[in-house]
Structure 1
Amino acid sequence: MGLRALGEIMTHVRPVEIFHLGPIPIYSTVVNTWIIMILLLAGIFLATRKLSFIPRGAQHVLEMFLEFFYGLLEEIIGKEGRRYLPLVATLFIFILSLNLSWFIPGMKPPTMDLSTTAAFAVTTIILVQIFGIRKLGLRGYIRHFFQPAPFLFPLNVIEELVKPVSLSLRLFGNLFGEEMVVTILFLMIPFLLPTPIMLLGVLMGTIQAFVFTLLTITYIANFVHGH
């Protein structure tokens, strides 16, 4: 009975195969990600199609959001931090949207799939390395790994290699655990009890998106300011 219940829970949370593209299976993770991307693009288009000098409504909310991240980037990196706003803001909005997509009936959040969080983490760390090379030059980028002392070179390299693993597992683990708890409670008591957990899920989803974004900013700052 316990194994049957566990199997039912896993059916609710794991990705499912939707169709095949030739020999390649396409899972719900990919389909749901594209759905969220389309919804985001449509939302951004509607929110920005009638921009005015005096912001109001959705434009006002967007400008407050951008000002917050402008201030965060400037505080951590300095004036030049503003050039990284497109990456930082996009990461936060996209990850947050994926985290909260479980409120769409029948949708499994793509960030519950380790392949999604790993893709975010690897792409982000590669971009951070590119920013480091552009900022320091290739020689300066290599020299960076010998700071603050040459014997720390192996540890600094290992640290960079571990970053995507840490980022992906942190985001995946929190979202997967949260969804598991809600699913178990919903199967046990379908109506009222999961509601507070779902509200907590909104908070946790927002925090996880912000933590991922904040860590990205600190990784960039590490190359800009050094160890």
Structure 2
Amino acid sequence: MEPGSSGGGLTEYIQHHLTHNTGKLFSMDFNWDSWGVALGLGLLFVLWFALFARKATSGVPTKGQAFVELIVEFVDGQVKDVFHGDRKTVTPLALTIFMWVALMNAMDLVPLDFVGWLIQSVAGHEVAHHTYFRAVPTADLNTTLGVSSGVFLILIGHALSAKGIGGFTKEFFTAPFHAHGVMAIVLAPVNFVMNVIEWLVKPISLAMRLFGNMYGGELVFMLIAGLFASWVTFLPGIIANTAWGIFHILIILLQAFIFMILTVVYISGVRESH
């Protein structure tokens, strides 16, 4: 769909690109575009790294192997600086989060109307005009909440592994305000509420931070495409898109890094006692 291709102009153009390809799953709305792209990129990451892991040699590495090794060493170094326990499960988790989120974020660099152009080339303008597809999974709050919910469950697993069910439950009622006797009973509900809030804030803050940055970046691309849609402003539009795209690469990688490092920080925190 091109800007101004129908009476709605820029507003309709942006609304069209902000609409998900939604269907029903168990009587609930489900964004198939976010799910499909996220799944595809996750499988791409697994196949990519598995291929180079299988072909890895101890001699002079190929450029592809060197690049993969560079990423793995970078992530492992970051985990080592933050987490001082056994890293054999934490580093793979951090690597998966970093690469998966980075790949999903990078979909924001795909030309905005590329999918529409493909559909129009195959099925015609009318089908493309009425077909919705958002290519950036992390600009969908459902995706970021889904990933952060997975992290939340992993945090619970680490807490139970480190403290046991009894220690984990006890901590909810005895920290952060440690007390004895009657005061311990009085402060138990307060401790419980504060711990519940602390635990819930972790996945919500992870999801909202990533979603907000990627949604905002996606919206800027839409505004640039809509405002510089005519032939007169074509060259300025190319320059503006290129400039924002170069800057947005930093945001894409930075948000993936922040999501990864906060996950490791949270894991380190839940494994320690108050």
Q: TM-score, normalised by structure 2?
A: 0.74
Q: Does 2:141 match 1:114? A: yes
Mapping 1:17-36, distance limit 5 Å? 17=22, 27-36=32-41
Q: Does 2:145 match 1:140? A: no
Shift of 1:204: 0.2
Aligned residues: 226
Structure 1: gaps spanning 5 or more residues = none
Cα distance in 2 for residues equivalent to 1:5 and 1:141:
53
Deviations along 1:167-192, one digit per CA (max 9) or x if unpaired, are 11111111000110111012222422
Shift of 1:26: 5.6
Deviations along 1:86-124, one digit per CA (max 9) or x if unpaired, are 211101110110000233442611111111001011111
Structure 1 ranges of 4+ moved more than 3 A: 1-4, 19-26, 150-153
Deviations along 1:124-170, one digit per CA (max 9) or x if unpaired, are 11111111101111112123333332433321221101222211111
Cα distance in 2 for residues equivalent to 1:59 and 1:178:
31
Mapping 1:1-227, distance limit 5 Å? 4-17=9-22, 27-54=32-59, 56=61, 57-104=63-110, 105-106=114-115, 108-145=135-172, 146-150=174-178, 151=187, 152-189=191-228, 190-227=237-274
- Tell me, yes or no, if the aligned pair for 1:36 and 1:98 is still in contact at 8 Å: yes
Cα distance in 1 for residues equivalent to 2:46 and 2:71:
17
Cα distance in 1 for residues equivalent to 2:10 and 2:59:
55
- Tell me, yes or no, if the aligned pair for 1:74 and 1:80 is still in contact at 8 Å: no
Shift of 1:53: 1.0
Structure 2: gaps spanning 5 or more residues = 116-133, 179-186, 229-236
Cα distance in 1 for residues equivalent to 2:27 and 2:192:
44
- The alignment-based identity, stated in percent, is 26
Deviations along 1:44-99, one digit per CA (max 9) or x if unpaired, are 34433321013522222222222222222222221423431121110111011000
Q: CA RMSD, aligned part only?
A: 2.5
Partner residue, 2:182: none
